Amino acid sequence: MGCSSPGALEVDLSEVVPVERLDRLAAAGFYGLAGPPEAGGMGVADVATAHEIIEILASGCLTTTFV
């Protein structure tokens, strides 16, 4: 499955993604990846950069990133 973050395999095998994982993504600003900084987003307008960030997150835990 290619999971590298602690607990990723358990999440992949589970039926539920722990809310703490989703909360960490939100707290880090990833829910606003393409949103403008003035609205609290990261302002990533470059598609290649957005894809790279998503790829890095997915390499840690694909299930969490997908959700």
pLDDT tens for the 67 residues of the chain, in order: 455 788 888 988 888 899 999 999 999 989 999 999 999 899 999 999 999 999 999 999 889 998 8
15 located within any domain? yes
Q: Which helix (H) or strand (E) holds 47?
A: helix 47-60
45 located within any domain? yes
- CB count within 10 Å of CB 6 equals 9
pTM score of the predicted model:
0.78
3 located within any domain? no
Structure confidence at residue 7 (pLDDT) = 86
| Range of the structural domain that residue 24 is part of | 8-66
Please give the tally of structural domains in the chain: 1
List of residues 6+ apart from 59 with CB closer than 8 A: 2, 4
Structure confidence at residue 1 (pLDDT) = 47
13 located within any domain? yes
2 located within any domain? no
36 located within any domain? yes
26 located within any domain? yes
30 located within any domain? yes
Residue with tokens 């990833």: 30
